[in-house]
């Protein structure tokens, strides 16, 4: 899970550097599209595999989650955005909770997100809204991802990413800004880097963990990611967090320790 987070948010740190050139949603589309191309070469799915509805939902949820997340980190520190986004996994974990310990862990995570939200609401409400949207799509990603993890994970991930990328392509062409001054080869190289760091590696590792842990525990394990994101945000982007944001992240991570069997 930590390896997945390091890869995922190292890619996000690279993506932030592209936001001055391209809209965050297009950068997110590059991420999923490049991941799809790489997976198509490696997995080589059959044509009939593209008929899978769960794979399509998985791909669209993943792309939407990434677009909303990138819009949020264009306005919020990386660690803060990830912690707020964690409300999605909290909802999934609630579906699988049965004991007082489970609910206490969920309460800790929720309070942590509320503390963080209060710290940034007045200055970055739009970014917070995108983070919450990403969290909702994250919940869908976990639920449908757990389902495909027990069936044909690599094939479903490949076809899902590919179908989502193709569906979004006309909108990305329409949204493409005029006067992009970076060479096409540079953009292609960055897209492939994003595809490997932020799509192929982390989502493949997610499938392994989902198959082993189930949706509820996987959802709470995701609370480790705000810490990874906060550290990478500080080191790579110079995004130092406020005391309230740090307290909120600590509360979210404490929920993982409490929930762990």
Q: What is the pLDDT of residues 45-88, one digit of tens each?
A: 999 999 999 999 999 999 999 899 889 988 887 777 877 787 78
pLDDT of residue 213: 61
pLDDT of residue 123: 63
pLDDT of residue 232: 67
Based on its alpha-carbon atoms, the radius of gyration of the chain, rounded to whole angstroms, reads 18
The number of distinct structural domains making up the chain is: 1
Q: What tens digit of pLDDT does each residue of 221-246 get?
A: 666 666 666 776 677 667 677 787 78
**Whether pLDDT at 165 is above 90:** yes
- Own/partner long-range contacts of 92-99 (Cβ < 8 Å, ≥24 apart): 92/139, 92/142, 92/143, 92/215, 92/216, 92/219, 93/216, 93/217, 93/219, 93/220, 93/259, 95/215, 95/216, 96/214, 96/215, 96/216, 96/217, 96/219, 97/216
H-assigned helices in the chain: 2-16, 24-43, 53-73, 78-85, 87-95, 100-120, 125-149, 153-175, 184-195, 201-213, 215-221, 225-237, 243-259
Q: What tens digit of pLDDT does each residue of 173-219 get?
A: 898 888 777 777 877 787 777 777 777 777 777 777 667 666 566 66
Q: What tens digit of pLDDT does each residue of 34-46 get?
A: 889 888 998 999 9
pLDDT of residue 259: 61
In which domain, by residue range, is 70 found?
Answer: 2-259
d(CA 35, CA 42): 11
- Which tokens sit at 76? 């919020």
d(CA 138, CA 187): 27
d(CA 164, CA 151): 20
pLDDT of residue 150: 76
Q: What tens digit of pLDDT does each residue of 92-148 get?
A: 777 766 677 777 877 887 787 777 666 556 567 888 899 989 999 988 988 898 888
pLDDT of residue 16: 67
Longest dimension (CA), the chain: 57
pLDDT of residue 133: 95
Residue 41: count other Cβ atoms within 10 Å of its Cβ: 9
**Whether pLDDT at 163 is above 80:** yes
Q: Who has greater pLDDT, 8 or 186? A: 186
pLDDT of residue 170: 94
3-state secondary structure string across 129-158: HHHHHHHHHHHHHHHHHHHHHCCCHHHHHH
Residue 130 dihedral angles phi and psi, to the nearest 5°: -65, -40
This prediction's pTM: 0.78
Q: What tens digit of pLDDT does each residue of 14-32 get?
A: 676 677 788 889 989 988 9
Helix (H) or strand (E) holding 23: none
Residue where the block lists tokens 């949204």: 175
- Which tokens sit at 227? 């810490």
């Amino acid at each position: 899970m930590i390896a997945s987070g390091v890869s995922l948010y190292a890619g996000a740190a690279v993506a932030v550097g592209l936001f001055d050139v391209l809209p965050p949603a297009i950068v997110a589309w590059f991420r999923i599209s490049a991941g799809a191309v790489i997976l198509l070469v490696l997995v080589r799915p059959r044509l009939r595999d593209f008929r899978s509805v769960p794979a399509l939902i998985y791909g669209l949820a993943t792309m939407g989650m990434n677009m909303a997340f990138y819009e949020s980190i264009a306005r919020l520190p990386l660690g803060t955005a990830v912690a707020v986004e964690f409300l999605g996994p909290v909802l999934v974990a609630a579906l699988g909770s049965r004991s007082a310990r489970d609910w206490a862990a969920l309460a800790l995570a929720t309070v942590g997100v509320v503390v963080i939200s209060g710290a940034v609401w007045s200055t970055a409400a739009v970014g917070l809204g995108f983070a919450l949207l990403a969290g909702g799509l994250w919940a869908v990603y976990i639920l449908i991802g757990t389902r495909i993890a027990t069936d044909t994970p690599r094939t479903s991930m490949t076809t899902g990413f590919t179908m989502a990328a193709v569906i979004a392509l006309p909108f990305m062409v329409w949204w493409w800004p005029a006067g992009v001054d970076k060479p096409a080869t540079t953009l292609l190289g960055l897209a492939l880097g994003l595809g490997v760091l932020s799509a192929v590696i982390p989502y493949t590792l997610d499938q392994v963990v989902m198959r082993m842990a189930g949706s509820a525990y996987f959802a709470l394990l995701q609370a480790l990611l705000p810490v990874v994101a906060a550290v990478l945000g500080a080191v790579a982007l110079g995004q130092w967090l406020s005391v309230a944001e740090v307290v909120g992240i600590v509360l979210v991570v404490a929920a993982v320790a409490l929930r762990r069997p």
